[in-house]
Amino acid sequence: MLGYHLPAAIALEKVRQELDLPTIAHHHDFYWERKGLVPDEFSFLNDLAEDYLPPQDPKIKHVVINSIAKKQCLDRKGINASIVPNVFDFESSAWGVDDFNRDLRQLIGLDQNDICVLQGTRIIPRKGIELAIDLVHALNAPHRQTALEKRGLYDGRTFTSDNKIVLVLAGYDRDDPTGEYLNKLKLKAEKLGVELRHVDYLIGQERTCHHARKIYSLWDAYTIADFVTYPSMWEGWGNQFLEAIKAKLPIVLFDYPVYKQDIEPNGFNVISLGSEISGRDAANLVTISEDVIQRAADQCVDYLTNCQLRKEMVEKNFQIGEQNYSYDCLRHHISNLIMR
């Protein structure tokens, strides 16, 4: 239950009460996690939110997606919720280049030997996408370009002075109707000489054709990526993390709180951007330590050029993901809830 639609929450609970239904309520976010959700002039809505987001009843088994939310739910509501984390389909076929998506790289403006850095999230400020721009800027440093040229890429491709490193934004920006954040990202990329492609016009929920133009799925974007950036400052869990693990791609991430507390202990191998925000620049975009950026860029070069190192990383991560966040794990969680 997302804490944005109070009328829907009230209606659902009234129906549940009328039908006397035993219920599992799976909460992804809570209203207290979203600052400014209730304007001061409508402060009476806080009382309704207290009653219905979430409602309390012995017949409701509450489920949250991380341990931070579990503690907050207990402290604020006296509700002892269970944790069911995000999961992904690790059993389906691997995503790969096929006849449908073979032309996607070219449509985006990438040569075969260019390096594609994928940011697949929505384009909103808390995703910290400016840090991905800083990372690509660091990768463009002459000594790292030279290393890429001398070593060659992990899959046998060559990388020359004619090739480029491109940050591809595959997510939509509809949650930022003013377009202010995306414009700031574009200006920053231009200032730093970072190649940026916003390709949401090519990406949909599934493959289709629209007015004789192909629309690709997000999974198609992963097939052209060389690694994934995930510099989000806050996530309830983190869908793109599991997507990158499924795609067997190296991932560069900011150690957001839920990752540090719930996900990292499983032993995933990632390129870390640390967990500390240094400040904000003149455009109000977040910044982190330059040393952290430089260290992460060095690691990226290693995983872009060393096939064995890269394989060990992505295979280990896939195995951990499959063991802990598969559909089988979800079935186990739900069975326990139903039987309890």
330 pLDDT more than 80? yes
One domain for residues 67 and 206:
no
1 pLDDT more than 50? no
Does residue 110 belong to any structural domain of this protein? yes
What's 152's domain CATH number? 3.40.50.2000
* Calpha distance 165→134 (Å, rounded): 12
37 pLDDT more than 60? no
Does residue 254 belong to any structural domain of this protein? yes
Residue type, 340: R
One domain for residues 52 and 110:
no
Mean pLDDT of the chain: 92
Q: Closest by alpha carbon to 329, among 70, 83, 73, 64?
A: 83
**Cβ(28)–Cβ(5) below 8 Å:** no
Does residue 336 belong to any structural domain of this protein? no
Does residue 217 belong to any structural domain of this protein? yes
One domain for residues 190 and 242:
yes
pLDDT of residue 188: 98
133 pLDDT more than 70? yes
Total structural domains within the chain = 2
Which CA distances in Å does 201 have to 2, 120, 174?
Answer: 27, 13, 12
Local confidence band at 36 (pLDDT 50, 70, 90 cut-offs)? low
* Calpha distance 191→124 (Å, rounded): 20
198 pLDDT more than 80? yes
Which CA distances in Å does 319 have to 30, 62, 240, 259, 297?
Answer: 31, 29, 17, 18, 25
pLDDT of residue 300: 98
Rounded to 5 degrees, what angle do the CA atoms 162, 167, 172 make?
145
pLDDT of residue 5: 78
Q: Kindly state the greatest CA–CA separation across the chain.
A: 70
pLDDT of residue 2: 47
The torsion angles phi and psi of 168, rounded to 5 degrees, stand at -105, 120
Which CA distances in Å does 36 have to 29, 44, 151, 264?
Answer: 14, 14, 50, 30
pLDDT of residue 154: 98
One domain for residues 144 and 230:
yes
One domain for residues 63 and 117:
no
The proportion of the chain whose per-residue pLDDT surpasses 90, expressed as a percent, equals 79
* Calpha distance 180→177 (Å, rounded): 8
Domain range for 32 is 6-84
pLDDT of residue 51: 85
147 pLDDT more than 90? yes
Does 276 or 9 have the greater pLDDT score?
276
One domain for residues 235 and 166:
yes
pLDDT of residue 178: 82
194 CA to centre of own chain: 21
One domain for residues 283 and 196:
yes
pLDDT of residue 291: 98
**Cβ(24)–Cβ(63) below 8 Å:** yes
pLDDT of residue 34: 66
39 pLDDT more than 90? no
One domain for residues 38 and 76:
yes
Q: Closest by alpha carbon to 130, among 60, 206, 184, 180?
A: 184
One domain for residues 130 and 11:
no
Does residue 334 belong to any structural domain of this protein? no
One domain for residues 196 and 248:
yes
Does residue 330 belong to any structural domain of this protein? no
One domain for residues 221 and 137:
yes
Tell me the sheet residues that pair with 228: 118, 251
Residues 127-138 have a mean pLDDT of 98
Per DSSP, helices labelled H in the chain are 6-19, 45-52, 67-77, 104-108, 129-139, 142-151, 180-192, 218-223, 239-246, 257-258, 290-305, 307-324, 327-339
One domain for residues 38 and 171:
no
Tokens read off for 24: 């599992």
Does 248 or 50 have the greater pLDDT score?
248
Q: 57-99, pLDDT tens digit by residue?
A: 989 999 999 999 999 999 988 999 999 999 999 999 999 999 9
Local confidence band at 46 (pLDDT 50, 70, 90 cut-offs)? confident
Does residue 232 belong to any structural domain of this protein? yes
Residues 209-233 have a mean pLDDT of 93
Tell me the range of 3-17, 23-37, 94-108, 207-221 where mean pLDDT is highest.
94-108
Does residue 96 belong to any structural domain of this protein? no
Residues 152-164 have a mean pLDDT of 97
